[in-house]
Structure 1
Amino acid sequence: MTELLFYHLQRRPLESVLPSLLEKSLERGWRVVVQAGSDERVDALDAHLWTYRDDSFLPHGTDRDGFLAEHPILLTVKDHNPNGAVVRFLVERAPLPPDAASYRRIVVMFDGEDEEALAEARVTWREKKAEGFEVTYWQCDENGRWHKRG
């Protein structure tokens, strides 16, 4: 069964949280798709993942780069899975893909300061839990550590 993880972004922005989660996914040998809500967000993440740390970068590409099957991390606005990802990150209110149940894990990252995004996450939580998905809720404490809350 697909794990559905909800990350409530309040104390840390997406740009500080996403790279470490992507690193952990690659360490586990998982291929990843990051689906954003806009081409502008894809472009911003594309630039950020090359430079987020002085001593490292995350190997990735966008769905405009070609050779989509070869990218260990693929950034896109589409609901496709051309690189055979087992993990999908949804950012900037990107919707769950029709094939959600085919993933090992889906990570929904939502802005806790955006009331509409928060409401959408709550609805998705209830719906997917009722459908049998294994859902968990993660929240960051004041020290920057993530804790499972549900």
Structure 2
Amino acid sequence: MAEILFYHLERQPLEKVLPNLLERSLARQWRATVQASGEERLKALDDHLWTYSDDSFLPHGTDRDTDAATQPVVLTLREHNPNASAIRFLVDGAPLPADASAYERICVLFDGQDQDALMQARAQWRQAKEAGHALAYWQQDETGRWQKKA
């Protein structure tokens, strides 16, 4: 069973949090897949990961690239695992994969200021719990540090 982590974004936007989590994943020698739910978000993330920091970037591609299977990070709108990743990030309400056990870890990142996103994350939590996955809920404290709440 996959470990599924829910990240409740309240103090920092996705564009700040995701690169850090991807860097940590790559440091573990894990390949990663990021699934968005819309073409505009996918394009914005693709651009952002090249420019989010003055001193680094995250090597990545999209599942449309011919070399997607060799990329350490792949951005997609679909449920497949194009680069045999160990970790999958779901953003903007992307659904849990049908075969979550294909991953070591799945991270659901959701906007804590968006009521629809909160409701969807709660539904995904129930779905993952019913499937028997190990779950964790992370929320940022006042200083921006992640605190495990459940």
Normalised-by-shorter TM-score class: over 0.9
1:119 is the counterpart of 2:89 = no
Counterpart-to-counterpart distance in 1, 2:4 and 2:27: 20
Deviation at 1:130, TM superposition (A): 2.2
Q: Which residue of 2 aligns with 1:90?
A: 90
Counterpart-to-counterpart distance in 1, 2:82 and 2:35: 12
Unaligned runs of 5+ in 1: none
Deviation at 1:146, TM superposition (A): 0.5
Counterpart-to-counterpart distance in 2, 1:126 and 1:63: 29
Q: Which amino acid aligns with 1:85?
A: S
Figure out how many residues of one structure are paired with residues of the other and give that number: 150
Counterpart-to-counterpart distance in 1, 2:12 and 2:114: 14
Q: Percent of aligned pairs with the same residue?
A: 60
Q: Which residue of 1 aligns with 2:33?
A: 33
Q: Which residue of 1 aligns with 2:19?
A: 19
Deviation at 1:128, TM superposition (A): 1.2
Counterpart-to-counterpart distance in 2, 1:127 and 1:133: 9
Counterpart-to-counterpart distance in 1, 2:127 and 2:76: 25
Q: Which residue of 2 aligns with 1:129?
A: 129
Residues 55-87 of structure 1: per-residue CA shift (max 9 Å, x gap): 100000011222110110000101111100010
Find the residue that maps to 2:46 and give its secondary structure.
Answer: helix
Counterpart-to-counterpart distance in 2, 1:23 and 1:14: 14
Counterpart-to-counterpart distance in 1, 2:43 and 2:85: 20
Find the residue that maps to 2:84 and give its secondary structure.
Answer: coil
Unaligned runs of 5+ in 2: none
Q: Which amino acid aligns with 2:103?
A: Y
Find the residue that maps to 1:119 and give its secondary structure.
Answer: helix
Deviation at 1:127, TM superposition (A): 2.2
Counterpart-to-counterpart distance in 1, 2:4 and 2:71: 23
Normalising by the residue count of structure 2, what TM-score does the alignment of the two structures yield? 0.97
Deviation at 1:100, TM superposition (A): 1.1
Q: Which amino acid aligns with 1:69?
A: A
Q: Which residue of 2 aligns with 1:62?
A: 62
Q: Which amino acid aligns with 2:147?
A: H
Counterpart-to-counterpart distance in 1, 2:3 and 2:99: 13
Counterpart-to-counterpart distance in 1, 2:25 and 2:93: 21
Which is worse superposed, 48-57 or 120-129?
A: 120-129
